[in-house]
């Protein structure tokens, strides 16, 4: 159990990728605060973790609110001890063409994804930075997306928010590493969750660029997060780990047997 006793906070942990992350960290020994704006979902995931023998507690959190971010950190430490791991996963999407997207929709996505990541990371880092050199330290993992690295139709808000998270991750890493806090990120490729709901044409567009010809699962993304939280990641900071089935590695893909 590589993360035994290391208190973890996972935002957006009540469903999808966040649920997979919470379950994986708990299976590796970390007590987990499953934070989500949907308390019912968070309670379901926390109950499942406890039933499997892990430690978990649900907590309602709106990551766009500074007070909520601070409260989640305080709750994690109150229940399980000093915070050592924070995963800034909470996020939403909106697939609207630029010419049709209302500003309110753009703002909502960026506020949830980018602002929420900042507020969670800041609150977690403030807790991890307390004490002397021997007491300080921890791991913060942000969750971006390949949509933050490539221009995609309908992803003005989502792509901007995830691109912002990637730069935020680098800045956090530079500022916090001297305090013993290592900050890295994971950029999922297309991942099969309830929210994905891609139609056949969109699935084909993704799969055509992928070396691994399948969508990812929450467990695939959680494995990358668990690595960044573990001791084997002691010399990595400011890195964005793509868990994308080779999506970012691809260029022009076609079968030469079909001719030019």
pLDDT in tens, 73-105: 999 999 999 999 999 999 998 888 999 999 999
Mean pLDDT for the stretch of residues 115-124? 98
Per the document, the length of the chain is 260
Average pLDDT, the chain: 92
Question: How buried is 11 (Cβ within 10 angstroms: 0-12 exposed, 13-18 middle, 19+ buried)?
Answer: buried
Q: Which residues are catalytic?
A: 158
List CB contacts of 178: < 8 A, sequence separation 6 or more.
Answer: none
Q: Which helix (H) or strand (E) holds 75?
A: helix 66-80
Q: What is the pLDDT of residue 92?
A: 93
Mean pLDDT for the stretch of residues 227-239? 96
């Amino acid at each position: 159990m590589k993360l035994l006793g290391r208190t973890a906070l996972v935002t957006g942990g009540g469903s999808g990728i966040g649920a997979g992350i919470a379950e994986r960290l708990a299976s590796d020994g970390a007590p987990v605060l499953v934070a989500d704006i949907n308390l019912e979902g968070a309670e379901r995931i926390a109950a499942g973790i406890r039933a499997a023998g892990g430690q978990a507690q649900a907590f309602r959190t709106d990551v766009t609110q500074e007070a909520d971010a601070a409260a989640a950190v305080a709750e994690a430490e109150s229940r399980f001890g000093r915070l050592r791991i924070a995963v800034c996963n909470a996020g939403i999407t909106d697939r609207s063409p630029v010419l049709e997207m209302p500003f309110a929709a753009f703002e909502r996505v960026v506020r949830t994804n980018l602002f929420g990541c900042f507020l969670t990371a800041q609150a977690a880092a403030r807790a991890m930075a307390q004490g002397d050199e021997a007491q300080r330290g921890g791991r913060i993992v942000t969750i971006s997306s390949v949509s933050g690295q490539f221009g995609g139709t309908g992803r003005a808000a989502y792509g901007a928010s995830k691109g912002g998270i990637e730069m935020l991750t680098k800045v956090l890493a530079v500022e916090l590493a001297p305090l013993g806090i290592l900050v890295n990120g994971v950029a999922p490729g297309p991942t099969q969750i309830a929210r994905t709901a891609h139609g056949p044409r969109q699935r084909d567009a993704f799969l055509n660029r992928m070396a691994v010809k399948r969508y990812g699962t929450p467990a695939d993304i959680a494995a990358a997060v668990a690595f960044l939280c573990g001791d084997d990641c002691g010399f990595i900071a400011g890195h964005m780990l793509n868990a994308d089935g080779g999506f970012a590695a691809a260029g022009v893909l076609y079968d030469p047997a079909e001719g030019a």
